[in-house]
Structure 1
Amino acid sequence: MLQWGWPRRWFVQRARLRPGAVADDWFVATLDYDGLCVTLQACMASARPAPRWVIHGTLGSYVAHEWDPQETQLKAGARPGEAGWGWLARPGELWLSPDGVTAPSVPQPVPGCAGDYRMFYAQLRDALAGRGDVPVSGAQIRQTMRALAMGCQDDASM
């Protein structure tokens, strides 16, 4: 939430779509900032996975198709630091429009970078030992918790 500050307005819709669902399994949240609109969504009842990230701008769009692979790699027995650790199997796609009007026809592949959750915990360790900054501030944690709590209310518009 702190990346762009607190949104001017937001609206959250939630639903239970699967038969017998005891918790919400679908949501869409729209966050309105000055000059920026962010849409977050998830659906546990989808037959086809949606892209992980879709970012649109006036001269193009970026699409990432995969989640961070580290958890799946750990479950499969891989260990941090091994060859291929944290790398996405499928590159993202950059769709560029030369003039902001003409639709791009062919995406350019954009390889990601290797993820490594250990860096966060190393920063936290160092901060607790007095050798660095805390990787996430208390203000960031409070704003995230506030957003989650507000999104869980029945009237989740602001």
Structure 2
Amino acid sequence: MSNQVNVGVVGFGMSSRTFHCPLIVSSPHLNLAAVVERHDTKSQKAYPGIQTVKSTDELFGLDHVDLVVITTPNDSHFKLAKEAMEKGKHVVVEKPFTVTSQEAEILVQVAKETNKICSVYQNRRWDGDFLTVKKLLENGHLGRLVEFESHFDRFRNFSKNGWREQEGQLGSGMLYDLGAHLIDQALTLFGVPKSIYATISNQRQLQGTNVDDDFTIILTYENNMKAILRSSMLARQQPVLRFSLRGMNGSFVKHHLDVQEDQLKAGVLPAHGGYGVESQQQWGLINTDMAGGVHVVGHVETEKGDYLSFYNNVGQAVLENNPAHLAVKPEHGLLCIRLIELAQQSSDENRTIFF
């Protein structure tokens, strides 16, 4: 068995250039072999020695390509992932997994029938701030959690007219984009909620946007613990709020977004010593009672972010031919999409939906 998996990437847009190719070439388990570019060969200039092809048919026909990474618009994820697995390829699908839970259910079944690895690119599980929150909760440093608030806010008071902001484009809008990250993180921490209530709106409609650009989702769990997921394109305050946690013993508040996206855009790779490391000025604040009656107030050093762990995990699962080894399973993608659908239903009907 080879110690590396040959990877073909569908598309060379921002997502591919920023979040996928740099991590693929950084993983000891993976080898970037080919990229689908219909109108250019920019990927060859960035990664000399790789092969460029003009279509997914060509890519799926390359015998030496083991794993296909799909970075195309959301409404094409289902068709391409299904076809790739049926043609013998393992698959990583950019989030969101699909645009309907029915499509997601089919992909889960196809992965089982073909015995192929199928994963969803939920890289935000390896944000440094999320890893910090996860550790605080696992160690009970806030006591019993009563409220978890997670934001992914930006400021852009106009439309870029990309496919994510086109009316009628399936899977467009912020709920499918940033909402997929926030929902997946909540599911990772707390599992399936008892109920969901959501408000979803288009606040920039007068500026020509035609899709949702603001949402609040409230997930309710046992003991009335609430997970509040919030995103807006009109959040200009700096620094942006990222997390606010309240427990019976204390609170934790974290501002600033994870540093990895900006680092990858600047060409900083995981091998760099400062990759994923957040400056002390951006650390979160805790105020809580620890074991033994110790009252702690101060900064919490942010865990080192590690998007590379996603691709290392996928590479190992492919080499071992072991879907159970996956950190992000297709079933996780299915559950995330189902919650997106229920959030939209809740907003449309203005009611809480119980599971």
Identify which of 49, 52, 74 aligns with 2:242: 52
TM-score (norm 1): 0.85
Q: What's the offset of the Cα at 1:96?
A: 2.2
Identify which of 312, 316, 319 aligns with 1:122: 312
Following the alignment from structure 2 to structure 1, what is the Cα–Cα distance between the partners of residues 319 and 342?
Answer: 34
Q: Secondary structure at the match of 2:349?
A: coil
User: Counterpart in 2 of 1:134?
Assistant: 326
User: Counterpart in 1 of 2:228?
Assistant: 39
Query: Are residues 97 and 134 of structure 1, via their aligned partners in 2, closer, same or farther at CA, if it must alter by over 3 Å?
Result: closer
TM-score (norm 2): 0.40
Following the alignment from structure 2 to structure 1, what is the Cα–Cα distance between the partners of residues 236 and 329?
Answer: 38
Q: Over residues 50-95 of structure 1, what are the superposed CA-to-partner deviations in whole Å (9 max), with x where a residue is unaligned?
A: 3111111011111111222111011122121212210123111102
Q: Report percent identity of matched pairs.
A: 26
1:155 matched to 2:349? The reply is yes
Structure 2: which amino acid aligns with 1:24? D
Structure with the larger helix share: 2
Q: Is the 8 A contact 1:92 1:110 kept in 2?
A: yes
Q: Over residues 73-123 of structure 1, what are the superposed CA-to-partner deviations in whole Å (9 max), with x where a residue is unaligned?
A: 11122121212210123111102268xxxxx9x940111111111111111
Structure 1: which amino acid aligns with 2:236? A
Q: What's the offset of the Cα at 1:138?
A: 2.9
User: Counterpart in 1 of 2:217?
Assistant: 29
User: Counterpart in 2 of 1:96?
Assistant: 288
Q: What's the offset of the Cα at 1:6?
A: 1.7
Query: Are residues 131 and 94 of structure 1, via their aligned partners in 2, closer, same or farther at CA, if it must alter by over 3 Å?
Result: farther
Aligned residues: 152
Following the alignment from structure 2 to structure 1, what is the Cα–Cα distance between the partners of residues 311 and 272?
Answer: 18
Following the alignment from structure 1 to structure 2, what is the Cα–Cα distance between the partners of residues 136 and 71?
Answer: 20
Q: Secondary structure at the match of 1:61?
A: strand
Q: What's the offset of the Cα at 1:4?
A: 2.4
**Structure possessing the higher relative contact order (Cα contacts under 8 Å, 6 or more residues apart):** 2
Following the alignment from structure 2 to structure 1, what is the Cα–Cα distance between the partners of residues 198 and 299?
Answer: 33
Q: Over residues 116-147 of structure 1, what are the superposed CA-to-partner deviations in whole Å (9 max), with x where a residue is unaligned?
A: 11111111111112166011223222111111
Q: Secondary structure at the match of 1:52?
A: strand
Instruction: Flag structure 1 segments of 5+ consecutive residues without an equivalent.
Output: 99-103
Q: Secondary structure at the match of 2:334?
A: helix
Query: Are residues 41 and 126 of structure 1, via their aligned partners in 2, closer, same or farther at CA, if it must alter by over 3 Å?
Result: same
Structure 2: which amino acid aligns with 1:27? F
Q: Is the 8 A contact 1:92 1:112 kept in 2?
A: yes
1:87 matched to 2:277? The reply is yes
Q: Is the 8 A contact 2:286 2:298 kept in 1?
A: yes
Query: Are residues 138 and 79 of structure 1, via their aligned partners in 2, closer, same or farther at CA, if it must alter by over 3 Å?
Result: closer
Structure 1: which amino acid aligns with 2:272? E
User: Counterpart in 1 of 2:76?
Assistant: none
Q: Over residues 10-52 of structure 1, what are the superposed CA-to-partner deviations in whole Å (9 max), with x where a residue is unaligned?
A: 1000111123221111111111100211111011112214311
User: Counterpart in 2 of 1:101?
Assistant: none
Q: Is the 8 A contact 1:2 1:143 kept in 2?
A: no
Structure 2: which amino acid aligns with 1:86? G
Q: Secondary structure at the match of 2:237?
A: coil
Kindly name which structure, 1 or 2, has the bigger radius of gyration based on alpha carbons: 2
Following the alignment from structure 1 to structure 2, what is the Cα–Cα distance between the partners of residues 32 and 125?
Answer: 35
